[in-house]
Amino acid sequence: MKKLAAVAVVAFSLTSVQAFAGSPVQIWKCGMEGDASEEAIQEYAAKWEKAAAALPGGKGMSTEVLFPVAAAADGNGTDLVYLVGWASFGDYGKWWDAYPSSDVAESEGEVLSCHGSALWEKM
């Protein structure tokens, strides 16, 4: 009976971790191209999100642009942080597989130049 209880506890623990897993958020450091305004960046972000959300895994995808109020220069030309979130890591994987060869990827660099990212888990 103790073995059965231990197996049940382990099985529940593994499934509960999956049930309560967070969602992926990719955080990009970006610079503004030329004389692009914050409004132009917001317009681009809305257009990019709509097109990117149409890719496999993109349903429910969201973006957010964060402009600094007070920040020290990082030496890389970071003017803003661009966040892209997905509902699940499975969706992110499907999307990431489709993105590099998509027309959406071709639009990069119009008003933003991003130079580094990290994938985070949002709980």
90-123 residue pLDDT tens: 999 999 999 999 999 988 888 999 998 999 999 9
Q: What domains does the chain contain, in order, with CATH numbers?
A: 22-122 (3.30.70.100)
Model confidence, pTM:
0.78
The CB-based long-range contact list for 75-79 (8 Å cut-off, 24+ gap) reads 76/29, 76/31, 76/115, 76/116, 77/31, 77/113, 77/115, 78/29, 78/30, 78/31, 78/115, 79/30, 79/31, 79/32
